[in-house]
Amino acid sequence: MQFTVEQKPTFAHITGTGRLNMVGAPKLREVVTQVVGDGSTHVVVDLGGTEFMDSSGLGALIGCLKLARQAGGDLRIANVRPQVRMVLELTSMNRVLTPYDSADAAFADD
């Protein structure tokens, strides 16, 4: 899985491309830890290019969400594809990780 980070005026925009599974999950944790450690506590993980997510990927997102909140910020997800939406609904984690239609929409109302 490949990640890119772009610093927007109000949040860090992380784009993940590939499969968020046992291989991709540790990379996501690494990237978000770095971003939050550098002071960007408002994070959007854009999953538009994420074709698959399993429970390990979901666990990484939950861990990253905790990390951002402990630092005084938040982590939100955007652009989810049908497979990722299925995982979120199956686990009821869409109540905690609510998918936004776009990265810009994620913190638009804050």
Partner 1 sequence: MTETSPRRSRRGPATARTVDALHEDLDALWEEAPHVPDTDRMAFTLAVMEAAGNVVVHAVPAAEAPIELEVDLAAGPHRLEARIYEIGAAPAEVDLDRAMAEEHLESGRGLAMIQALVSRVVFERHGDTNVWKLCRECGPDGA
Residues that bind partner 1 (CB under 8 A): 19, 21-23, 52, 54-56, 58-60, 62-63, 66, 82-83, 86-87, 90-93, 95-96
The CA distances from residue 17 to 7, 21, 79, 88, 110, in Å, are 18, 12, 12, 18, 27
Nearer to partner 1, 26 or 37 (CB): 26
Nearer to partner 1, 20 or 103 (CB): 20
Specify the DSSP element, H or E, that contains 48: strand 42-53
What does the chain come to in residues?
110
Nearer to partner 1, 1 or 44 (CB): 1
